[in-house]
């Protein structure tokens, strides 16, 4: 088997929280370490062009790109061993997307469920960029001949489209230029719920401050949010299954397990017979121990935005070296 090249894009978001960390960032770090240890290559890009599909203030987009980069590096993405860059700095993404727009079919894009979800009733008022976003996404990975692309449930259809575009390009222009990227299915990422309402996802749009642990929260604030998290008065049972109808308890055990790199079954077994009066302080300590150093490193990095910019520029330089010859070959195949 040829070496794996994994390419993964991350939309720039600010105000990152524990759900983003455990559900996304920590997974990318684990993936990096696993792929690199197998002799593969990892590329991570901040998808700032994708950030434009819905209006965002320019200063916010810029700040989010910097914050996302600082978070990834603080959490363990190594810009020496992985190629870490922002999409806009590698113009070949846009150029290939422009070429692939002539390969993708309107009917294919019309079937994309994410566009329907995001545009909602206002389809006519949605940007063309939102509609065309899956073609840019195809360019993002085909540009590097990615062998594997990590995809969650919501992105499976887009990866399928990228494969269709690659297949049609290769057939239409009698070439074998593009590699068909395979989905990389990692172990299911935990879904973290609000600390005040376990029926809702932890999210930056959550109305209550107490319900969301932010990555920039101080140790005191992190601990306080966990100590005051909503729970029930019952003791922890012997097994994870017995927590079935206790959403708050399940959420806190899920968070504990994810932070400690243990299974939920192990965590429940350890605390069996104990109440949340004991469990929550232990979780607070664990969270401070795991999140505190990431926050400190993020803060250190964010104090020197020139250094973050230099990381992105160096990554973009490496990405352009890979992208430029492939784009040239695509142009040649098409007669340009």
- Kindly report the number of other CB atoms within 10 A of residue 117's CB atom: 9
Q: What's the residue count for the chain?
A: 336
- Site size toward ligand ADP (CB under 6 A) is 13
C-beta of 213 vs 308, nearer to ligand ADP: 213
Residue 13 binds ligand ADP (CB under 6 A)? yes
**Least CB distance from residue 80 to ligand ADP, whole Å?**
24
Q: Can you tell me the distance from the alpha carbon of 152 to that of 162, in angstroms, rounded to the nearest whole number?
A: 15
Catalytic residue flag (residue 156): no
Report the residue from 191, 274, 328, 329 that binds ligand ADP according to the rule CB under 6 A: 191
Count CB atoms within 10 A of the CB of residue 232: 12
Considering only residues 233 to 292 of the shown chain, the ones binding ligand ADP according to CB under 6 A are: none
Measured CA angle at 42 (ends 38, 47), to 5 deg: 160
The pair phi, psi for residue 110, each rounded to 5°, is -60, -20
Least distance CB 11 / ligand ADP (angstroms): 6
Note whether 201 binds ligand ADP by CB under 6 A: yes
Residue 314 burial (10 A CB sphere; 0-12, 13-18, 19+): middle
Q: Which residues make beta-bridge pairs with 45? A: 9, 85
Look up 230 and say whether it is catalytic.
Answer: no
Q: Which is nearer to ligand ADP, 24 or 236 (CB)?
A: 24
Q: How far is the CB of 302 from ligand ADP (least distance, A)?
A: 19
Secondary element (H or E) of residue 194: none
In the numeric block, which tokens belong to residue 263?
Answer: 């299974």
* Residue 74 or 100 having the CB closest to ligand ADP: 74
**Which member of 204, 230, 280, 290 is catalytic?**
204
Residue 10 DSSP symbol? E
317 annotated as a binding-site residue: no
Question: Closest distance between ligand ADP and the C-beta of residue 198, in Å?
Answer: 11
Rule CB under 6 A: choose which of 35, 68, 192, 253 binds ligand ADP.
Answer: 192
Half-sphere exposure of 11 (CA within 13 A, CB side): 12
Q: Which is nearer to ligand ADP, 67 or 179 (CB)?
A: 67
Active site residue 201: yes
Is residue 159 within the footprint of ligand ADP (CB under 6 A)? Answer: no
Helix (H, G, I), strand (E, B) or coil at 260: helix
Q: Which of 116, 123, 204, 262: binder of ligand ADP (CB under 6 A)? A: 204
SS3 call for 262: coil
CA dihedral 62, 68, 74, 77 (to 10 degrees): -120
Under 8 Å between Cβ of 204 and 213: no
Q: Give the residue with the Cβ less far from ligand ADP, 201 or 318.
A: 201
Q: Of 84-103, which residues contact ligand ADP (CB under 6 A)?
A: none
Minimum distance of ligand ADP from residue 201's CB (angstroms): 4
The site map against ligand ADP for 20-59 (x = CB under 6 A) is: x--xx-----------------------------------
- Please indicate if the annotation marks 205 as binding a ligand: yes
Reduced to 3 states, what is the DSSP secondary structure of residue 213? Answer: coil
Please provide the distance, in angstroms rounded to a whole number, between the alpha carbons at the two ends of the chain.
33
Cα dist. 320→13, 82, 140, 143, 328 in Å? 24, 14, 12, 10, 12
State yes or no: residue 19 binds ligand ADP (CB under 6 A): yes
Any idea which residues carry the catalytic annotation? 118, 201, 204
Q: Which residues are annotated as a binding site for L-tryptophan?
A: 140
Query: Would you tell me which residues interact with ligand ADP (CB under 6 A)?
Result: 13, 19-20, 23-24, 189, 191-192, 201-205
């Amino acid at each position: 088997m040829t070496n794996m090249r994994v390419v993964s894009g991350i939309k720039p978001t600010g105000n990152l929280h524990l759900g983003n960390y455990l559900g996304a960032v920590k997974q990318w770090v684990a993936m990096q370490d696993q792929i690199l240890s197998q002799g593969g290559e990892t590329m991570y890009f901040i998808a700032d062009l994708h950030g434009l599909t819905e209006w965002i203030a320019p200063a916010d987009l810029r700040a989010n790109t910097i914050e996302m980069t600082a978070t990834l590096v603080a959490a363990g993405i190594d810009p020496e061993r992985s190629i870490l860059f922002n999409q806009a700095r590698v113009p070949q993404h846009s150029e290939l997307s422009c070429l692939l727009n002539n390969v993708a079919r309107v009917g294919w894009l019309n079937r994309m469920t994410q566009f329907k979800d995001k545009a909602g009733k206002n389809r006519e008022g949605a940007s063309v960029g939102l509609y065309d976003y899956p073609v840019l996404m195809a360019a993002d990975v085909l540009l590097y001949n990615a062998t594997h692309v990590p995809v969650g449930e919501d992105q499976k259809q887009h990866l399928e489209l990228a494969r269709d575009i690659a297949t049609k390009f290769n057939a239409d222009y009698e070439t074998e230029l593009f590699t068909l990227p395979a989905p990389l299915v990692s172990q299911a990422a935990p879904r973290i719920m609000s600390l005040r309402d376990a029926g809702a996802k932890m999210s930056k749009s959550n109305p209550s401050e107490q319900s969301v642990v932010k990555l920039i929260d101080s140790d005191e604030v992190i601990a306080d949010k966990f100590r005051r998290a909503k729970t029930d008065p019952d003791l922890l049972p012997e097994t994870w299954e017995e927590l079935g109808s206790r959403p708050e308890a399940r959420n806190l055990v899920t968070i504990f397990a994810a932070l400690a790199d243990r299974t939920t079954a192990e965590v429940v077994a350890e605390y069996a017979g104990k109440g949340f009066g004991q469990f929550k302080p232990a979780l607070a300590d664990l969270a401070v121990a795991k999140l505190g150093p990431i926050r400190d490193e993020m803060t250190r990095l964010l104090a020197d935005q020139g250094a973050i910019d230099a990381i992105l520029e160096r990554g973009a330089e490496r990405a352009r070296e890979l992208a430029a010859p492939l784009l040239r070959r695509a142009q040649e195949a098409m007669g340009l």
